[in-house]
Chain A
């Protein structure tokens, strides 16, 4: 048995942050500011400062209002907003308290945010006295990178990590992966690890960014608990020609005979694309009443509220970088596809995300030495609110929370010895696809998975029957996975990502099968065989972990509403529990 260095280049640091996007950088910065003596290393598969969703996705950032009751107002709003009463209100309260300083902290870190004439951050009230909203530069990751370097944080780019290392007691003590340019093995040894990779997005089309769930997979294999995976699908109504969203256009859909679908099937104005509407759209197309279209000439109050009007000057100023980029993309699109016209055809676009790592109020997972800030834990923390519209705010706030907690742990902890056998085994597992020689390529798996995005019956309106069909597909994919062949670092990472993506897919349908009810508005869980919401039996979270036999193990957890301030009407404290919350 040799030493660890025989297997690859060894990097040692007090705190290892995996993922150099906004969440990872904020975690590192916050921890370093709390204790400048800590040696912090941030690792990313791309180039830190230009990578991460924050450099491309939205460019608004929210913060809890500074109103004295801001936190409670926001909490009440969020609990009712999207998936009522499913929230972890303890987490949410702590989150909203930290969230209050969100924009100010970003400015402290050198991030350019929208400001008044004196240069002070001045967020616009988004939901009055509850949530504020400001603009943030699209170069936010680069600005955070500068600040991190100033503090003396180490940044290592273009290294892709796939597995976590543990000591004998299951504590995470590092990670292993390879360099994306040369495929050389890199081993990381740390006292504490923060996993700030994004989740898994089964989507890969026009400006939707694909995470592959490698972080989820790695955490799952060291015993982390996942939660709320069934709430993972969101639907947009889009222009068929360009596949870009028609903001707020979901009440305006007509079939070829000019019949309005919302009026006919639902009967009242909607504020989100609901599964019922999607079901109706599919039915119309099936009945030969397609193509569906929207009449943009006709005024619509929901569209006017959500996105139909032009931005005012202040808002435009706020979003300058983003607008420049969007204009470029829009020009390109318009040149290729032509104008959409005033009566465009419409269809849907689904987004599926798995971001399930269960964390406590310190963003710590149930595995010792492992934190999970950022997108990777937005389902697991049971926020269930406007997170999915405030990805940047979520990244910075959870980063701040993780940074405040991880530095204390790292300061006290000792370096545990790396198990060389484990390194050898994991390295062999990671590099296995390079030594195979079959015709199976990772694209095969991704093509199969991408089909679910088109299949409304599987991703939006689920049923026991359809779920069984998915299981059959997953079995097929699992047979292909050990056969995948890679020839260079890029395809090697694709092979490994394919396996984790399949794992995430299985998590969705396992939890969806277990939850025999329908619930939620944005990111809904909808079962055609159980279309009603069942508060009596299902005020529960569904958790997943790797069982002792290596198979997926599901277990439910009662939502401790007796500890929470906001409860459903007529809620009764279950037997064996007592009222624990007093305002």
Chain B
């Protein structure tokens, strides 16, 4: 079934067969009903290696329809290998419209970032997740971590954060920072910088998480409490940057370090390329940026 009726043989719409989609769809609905709980699913082999977003791709394939507009980002960027190839994949197998503009997208698949622009109702954010189990590095046995979630036994996670403080004087976890969803399940938000954690709290958009190798799907419905774990005397804090983006001059956004030469030269630029480009088009210029032509002329 595809819109190209002239082609003799083609993939099913969105690549996956219908039985697989039903299985994933059932898992997604249960995941939404139990926010933060990791639903096991029968992850399929995808035409890309594990670690390249097979979980996110399967979730996107089960959700996406012909009316959707897809945006794919990798660490905030629309133009890196992972983002480009996944976008091309869905153009090919689902013939969907694609965009790099956050506000035009209905489905956004992301690797390790949440867009700077606030997401709205009707948007679905699909995260690619490498290790869905937040307790995995503390307890390697699945049988045990499952029991810990069932009993809401999360003391070990607080011990880990406490040890951070004891060694470093502050909580040194900077990405994949554990959160508690709706006061019940402790969840791994995927390796997004902790800078993005507050954006998950009471988000307007539906957030879905897919881990292909680990075969788990979980979700945060819109308007759901997502609290980063912390202590009264060591409250959760996000990264702060000394300088604004070198290209667009934006404050209060997540910045990537870019090495400029072999003499220690470097600059910090927005990790969200769409956000940065839009600001530069609007005439904002950072200290290393070049004013756009129209504005300059």
Whether A and B are associated in the same complex: the answer reads no
B residues whose Cβ falls under 8 Å from a Cβ of A: none
